[in-house]
Amino acid sequence: MKQRDCQRFGFPKPAGYSISHWLGSVQGDPLLNHRTTPELPQSADIVIIGSGMSGTVIAKHLTETWPTKKIVIIEARLFCSGATGRNAGHCKPDQWRGFVEYERQFGTEQAMKILQNEQQTWSELVRYIQDHNVECEHWTGPTLDIPITPEAARKAHTIFERYKAAGGKVDHIKVTHDPQEAAKISQMKNAQACYAWPASTLHPWKLAAHVMRENIRRGVNLQTNTKAIAIVPSQKRLGQWILKTERGDIECAQVVHATNAYSSALEPSLRGLITPRPQMCNRVTIPETATDFAGFKNSYGILLGQDDLISINPRLNGDGAVLFGGSNPGQGEFMKWLDQNPERCIDDGMTGHGAINKAVQAFAIGEVKGWSADELQQEEPYTHAWSGIMGMSADGVPFVGELPGLAGQWVCAGHNGHGMARIFTTAAGLVKLMAGSSWAESQLPEVFQITVERAERLRECCKASDAVVARI
């Protein structure tokens, strides 16, 4: 795709800055612009680039592993203002739906490990929230996957049965293939089936903020509005790195790349491996006059066929607004527009896109039972939207580990819009690796590891894909 053009020689400056629902709800919080010290430290043991969920949770584990090390986190803009602060608010472990594709790419054993890792991540995230009494509007309950077309129902059934036959754990997943029962459970008029299992929704910025405040109390130095420019070897100390920023240089022994979609802008070896892709999220406020709508009682993944999916987060422990995310039928037109405007592939200043807005409106009015109030028929409720930039890895799973050929530089990125269901374990695993543990001790799927062989294979695939596109 033409979006690759924006990452070949580093990214251009984003066109603007939109305010997500999460960021809008915490305006004025001093953590947004926090600088632990007025001046940028000139040296550190470890520098983390990025203050989203990855960088924040990595810092947590680093302070627990090495309480006395000097750790600095630099953030180009506001604290947690990238993908974490712009997502749709789900922590939804994939329990079966990705199995066939993972199995095709990586084999049955690794496909199982990938899904097991998501379940482990969700469990650890929920445990952390409960153990630390984190105020982040957390809700846990049944999430529903609802195919609403015959094609989507057939595909879902095939994948589920294949996963089950391969030995996948399904006892905790409640399934009905009765359309009438599925429609009653889900409130979706054209529901063909219903798959339900435990998952969560939450305020992602508030969770990250809780962890970061604990980090700061433990001695971590957070420097917001500090953009990294380059990382070069120290000319004075062998094995040290100089991290160049717009505010000065920091010399350190280790660097952690935790900027997800932006990682390949700073580190050339990641170009072709991680590609930025915008996604839109729409917030709809239900008017009090909409008495026919009973309200959602679950989070959702609406399966439309092909790769289209609409996620629904009804903010059950929040303000009651409904967030629509995912890749709805307007995504194709949005992607065509991005092909024509490749510089916008890192623009999280977008406040909506017509095709996405219209698709959300058409879905809600046409599919959700009781969504019939006159106010909900109008265009205006569907126009409050924001963009977030996902880091799409070339093979659909994250890159974790030490960058090949760059001793002391580490990466945890390429979460494919699914970071909330992966970061709590990938961050912990990365720190284990930094402490000298083996990959097996990280307890992560082997296919997450960044290796020379994996990187070369994926670059070759990208070249072949570009060659095919060029001939079309």
Q: What is the pLDDT of residue 289?
A: 82
Tens of pLDDT, residues 41-96: 999 999 999 999 999 999 999 999 999 999 999 999 999 999 999 999 999 999 99
pLDDT above 50 (res 468) = no
Phi and psi torsions of 41, nearest 5°: -60, 145
Cα 460 from Cα 388, distance rounded (Å): 28
Residue 12 structure tokens: 């251009």
Q: Which domain holds residue 245?
A: 22-86+205-273+394-470
| pTM: predicted TM-score of the whole model, two decimal places | 0.94
Higher pLDDT, 219 or 1: 219
Same-domain status, 194 and 303:
yes
The domain boundary, picked from 389, 409, 428, lies at 389
Question: Is the domain of 374 the same as that of 409?
Answer: no
Give φ, ψ of 69 to 5 degrees. -70, 145
Say whether 325 sits in a helix, a strand or coil: strand
Q: Using only C-alpha atoms, what is the Rg of the chain?
A: 22
Domain count for the chain: 2
In the listed set 368, 389, 410, which residue is the last one of a domain according to the structure?
A: 389
**Same-domain pairing of 177 and 293:** yes
Separation of alpha carbons 92 and 437, rounded Å: 29
| Pair 209, 221 in one domain | yes
Domain boundary among 331, 355, 389: 389
Q: Does some domain include residue 42?
A: yes
Examine the domain organization and report whether 296 and 180 are in the same domain: yes
In a domain, residue 112? The reply is: no
- Mean pLDDT within 236-259: 97
Do 305 and 379 lie in a common domain? Answer: yes
Say whether both 221 and 189 belong to one domain. no
Please indicate, yes or no, if residue 27 is contained in any of the structural domains.
Answer: yes
369: domain CATH number is 3.30.9.10
Do 269 and 280 fall into the same domain? no
pLDDT, mean over the chain: 93
The verdict on 365 and 439 lying in the same domain is no
Question: Could you give the dihedral angle defined by the CA atoms of residues 75, 78, 79 and 85, in that order, rounded to the nearest 10 degrees?
Answer: -120
Quick count: other Cβ atoms within 10 Å of Cβ 216? 17
Residue 404: pLDDT over 80? yes
156-161 long-range contacts, Cβ below 8 Å, gap at least 24? 156/97, 156/193, 156/195, 156/303, 157/193, 158/100, 159/96, 159/97, 159/99, 159/100, 160/96, 160/195
Tell me if 463 is assigned to some domain: yes
Where do the H-state alpha helices sit in 331-451? 331-340, 354-367, 374-377, 423-434, 439-442
Q: Yes or no: say if 241 and 232 are a contact pair by the CB < 8 Å rule.
A: yes
Q: What is the pLDDT of residue 372?
A: 87
* Same-domain status, 182 and 307: yes
Query: Measuring CA to CA, how many Å separate 182 from each of 21, 83, 249?
Result: 30, 33, 58
pLDDT in tens, 130-185: 999 999 999 999 999 999 999 999 999 999 999 999 999 999 999 999 999 999 99
Q: Residues 437, 381: one domain?
A: no
Do 295 and 372 reside in the same domain of the chain?
Answer: yes
pLDDT tens, 349-382?
999 999 999 999 999 999 999 998 898 999 999 9
- Look up tokens 């594709």; give the residue: 101
> In this structure, is residue 8 part of a structural domain?
no
